[in-house]
Structure 1
Amino acid sequence: MNHRTIAFLLLLATPLFAQEPSADRVKKHIEKLASDNMKGRGTGSRENAKAAAYIARQFRKYGLKPLGEDGFYQPFTAKVRRVVVPDSLRKAANVIGFLDNGAAQTIVIGAHYDHLGMGTQGSSLASNPQGQIHNGADDNASGVAGLLELAQYYAKNSEKEPYNFLFMAFGAEELGLQGSRYFLNHPTLPLDRLNFMVCMDMIGRYNPERGVGIGGYGTADAWPEVFQGVTAGVKFFTDRAGNGGSDNAAFYAKQIPVLFFHTGGHPDYHKPGDDPEKIDAKAEEEILRLEIKLIDNALKLPKMKFTPVQ
């Protein structure tokens, strides 16, 4: 076999390997979204719009279909209730990409991309937040990196799955789940076509003693079957509740089954110290591999039946 043949075979094989979750790409996405140049991605800021554009570019590169109201974007106006500066209305947008497998039902995978900006929109836990960049590497550049990795994985998968996928980066989550609630009140895909929703919020600071928490285990009758026999390169545990934590709560309120992935709180939560160098990208890669196992198990089952959690 000559070197040209070997190079050609490697070229053919590259997409197969490239679709797997990658710690290097996770790190790259987080460093882009949570750099000081992004100034904390505060809702309504120029940098928040740049983050949305970055996500849209990735969706386009993966070959996803735009399913916003303006290409990949679903614009809306966010209201700021606790604010240090006087502008109480800000432009925001969800970024929505659709993987159309010709199926009747769709799985939603989501993460919010906004954070606290320069500490002037409220919610910071720093003693003097104004003027300080809140990078939000874990909250929630880590979740967006996971969203992009899963979008690439399923978009580049050689096999067509029996469900469609709706990949959504939500705006204005830090202001009260406003992006996800806006989508659910103005859906670009009928809600009765949604099977379940997977939410990632703060999956970048894995603690091996705690493990990754997976909420929403009680929101569908099928989740125990989905989890049966699943092992992972990270420790994990389940929680039945589905109505807290992040944008998953908005979907739960619409009686859509959810799973919510979260590596837990830390001293840098909602503070300027939530920086990219503190992210455990290798552990996040393993969390994403766990998510793929669970999603793939769910792909084998009929549409889930929502069950409320008491």
Structure 2
Amino acid sequence: MKHSILVFFLLILAACKSEVSKLVSIEDDVTFLSADALEGRQTGTKGEKAAAEYIAKRFKSLGLEEKGTNGYFQEFSFKPKTNPHQKVNYTVKEGDGTITGTNVIGFLNNNAENTIVIGAHYDHLGYGAEGSLHRGEKAIHNGADDNASGIAVMLNLVEKLKDKNTSNNYLFMAFSGEEMGLLGSNYFVKNATIDTQKINYMINMDMVGRLKADSTLAVYGVGTSPILKQTLNAHNNNFKLIQKESGIGPSDHTSFYNADIPVLHFFTGQHEDYHKPTDDFEKLNYEGMTTISNYIFEVISDLDNNGKLPFRKTKNESEETPRFKVGLGVIPDYMFDGKGMRIDGISEDKPAQKAGLQKGDIVIKLGDSTVTDMMSYMKVLSTFKEGNTTTVIVDRNGKMIQANIEF
């Protein structure tokens, strides 16, 4: 069976040529990139390399120029970190436990002064690398939302931007190594194949495949240039926008923000399948992804005649995030903007499940402290240690329910 899947994979890859490029839909790209045949696209594996080949062929079929160091590819070798505070060493010797990642880079040349970078990472967790939330037998983490969705929307934008909005050039990038610490984007910024001083701004799409029924869309980095928030609002006819000022976050836009480049990061929120084998293509909202792609195109169109956007530093909100020794074992709904902290998923055999909490419950009190939002929830959680007991009050469809929590 696995052999037949691989043959099917190769046939699709061979078929991705210019004459059929316009027949490839957002769903087609996600389905291919999140197939079992790619074995979770972990950085440096055969599956990731196959995904890179596919993206390069899509770039070629869409008429993009090669802008890597080897055709469309920009390879980088590194030795994995042994602790989270260690800097990655990109200059290592063969046979020294090194991994080679591959950025895929295509260029739409409008002979303009400045260039807009549009990117998304394509690597994922393989069979369950560090960061996996799966508890059970080894299984392929297909990463349909994280982040085949971002790559598919990026490829859709290539089609939209050809011969349009020609006041800028466009550099389209599929980043490797994001799950291991933003390695591909960090490497590119330090070893860019274009003049980084000529980068106008950067758009990042990471997990844009699960637009919910209330159409909540988070956009990070809106404070990194004065005009961004106004432009986003001017073209919003479909979304409940949650706008965050900071240019720092756990995705590839951070690498560009740190190089003093304005950024926008689009995100539809976490879910129960995040970093699990169940993040599969059939669970994505493809109509929502098309709407997001159209929205980004409208924003780019509005900014087309604004010249090079001024960069503005923002407060690093992650520095204010409390550190905690224990957790409830829930996936918070980061898109919820009501009072309290809404639960978007429950982990098995953790305090929340043992206490009978459910998806959709809104935590409004933990111990003696009122929970008004995500930050207040994290602050009170950081005061508990393993072995502590407390109570939690949740709003479940308008009914207040109290439960006992043991950390």
Same fold (TM over 0.5): yes
Shift of 1:222: 1.8
The question of whether the paired residues in 2 share the 8 Å contact of 1:232 and 1:286 is answered with no
The question of whether the paired residues in 2 share the 8 Å contact of 1:101 and 1:160 is answered with no
Q: Distance in 1 between matches of 2:194 and 2:179?
A: 24
Shift of 1:29: 0.4
State the match for 1:8 in structure 2: none
- Give SS of 2:299's match: helix
State the match for 2:225 in structure 1: 220
Q: Distance in 2 between matches of 1:301 and 1:225?
A: 13
Letter of the 1:246 partner, please give it: S
State the match for 1:53 in structure 2: 53
Task: Determine which of 229, 250, 259 is the counterpart of 2:264.
Answer: 259
State the match for 1:91 in structure 2: 100
Matched, 1:75 2:75: yes
1:28-82 superposed Cα distances (whole Å, 9 cap, x missing partner): 1000000111110011111100000000001001111100000000000143336
Shift of 1:298: 1.1
Please give the residue correspondences for 1:120-269 in structure 2 after superposition, counting only pairs within 5 Å.
121-128=129-136, 131-155=138-162, 157=163, 159=164, 161-209=166-214, 211-269=216-274
Give the number of equivalent residue pairs. 285
Letter of the 2:37 partner, please give it: N
Q: Distance in 2 between matches of 1:87 and 1:275?
A: 35
Q: Distance in 2 between matches of 1:269 and 1:228?
A: 29
Q: Gaps spanning 5+ residues in structure 2: where?
A: 1-17, 84-94, 316-407
Q: Distance in 1 between matches of 2:246 and 2:264?
A: 9
Worse-matched range after superposition: 237-246 or 171-180? 237-246
Letter of the 1:112 partner, please give it: H
Shift of 1:192: 0.3
Q: Greater share of helix residues, 1 or 2? A: 1
Q: Distance in 1 between matches of 2:239 and 2:229?
A: 19
CA gap 1:33/1:235 in 2 versus in 1, 3 angstroms: same
The question of whether the paired residues in 2 share the 8 Å contact of 1:81 and 1:88 is answered with no
State the match for 2:292 in structure 1: 287
- Give SS of 2:307's match: coil
Shift of 1:154: 1.2
1:161-215 superposed Cα distances (whole Å, 9 cap, x missing partner): 1100000000010000000000000000011010000000000011133611011
The question of whether the paired residues in 1 share the 8 Å contact of 2:203 and 2:263 is answered with yes
Q: Distance in 1 between matches of 2:146 and 2:244?
A: 20
- Give SS of 1:219's match: coil
Shift of 1:152: 1.9
Task: Determine which of 293, 299, 304 is the counterpart of 2:304.
Answer: 299
CA gap 1:91/1:29 in 2 versus in 1, 3 angstroms: same
The structure with more radius of gyration: 2
The question of whether the paired residues in 1 share the 8 Å contact of 2:79 and 2:96 is answered with no
Q: Distance in 1 between matches of 2:25 and 2:174?
A: 17
Q: What is the TM-score with the length of structure 1 in the denominator? A: 0.87
CA gap 1:196/1:160 in 2 versus in 1, 3 angstroms: closer
Q: Gaps spanning 5+ residues in structure 1: where?
A: 1-14
- Give SS of 1:32's match: helix
Q: CA RMSD in A?
A: 2.1
CA gap 1:276/1:111 in 2 versus in 1, 3 angstroms: same
Q: Distance in 2 between matches of 1:303 and 1:275?
A: 39
Letter of the 2:98 partner, please give it: L
The question of whether the paired residues in 1 share the 8 Å contact of 2:215 and 2:238 is answered with no
Q: Distance in 1 between matches of 2:135 and 2:66?
A: 41
State the match for 1:100 in structure 2: 109
The question of whether the paired residues in 1 share the 8 Å contact of 2:41 and 2:51 is answered with yes
Q: Distance in 2 between matches of 1:207 and 1:175?
A: 28
- Give SS of 2:294's match: helix
State the match for 2:330 in structure 1: none
Q: Distance in 1 between matches of 2:59 and 2:78?
A: 24
Identical positions, percent: 39
The question of whether the paired residues in 1 share the 8 Å contact of 2:122 and 2:151 is answered with yes
The question of whether the paired residues in 2 share the 8 Å contact of 1:196 and 1:304 is answered with yes
Shift of 1:230: 1.2
Worse-matched range after superposition: 41-50 or 231-240? 231-240
Worse-matched range after superposition: 286-295 or 235-244? 235-244
Q: Distance in 2 between matches of 1:290 and 1:136?
A: 24
Letter of the 2:42 partner, please give it: G
Q: What is the TM-score with the length of structure 2 in the denominator? A: 0.67
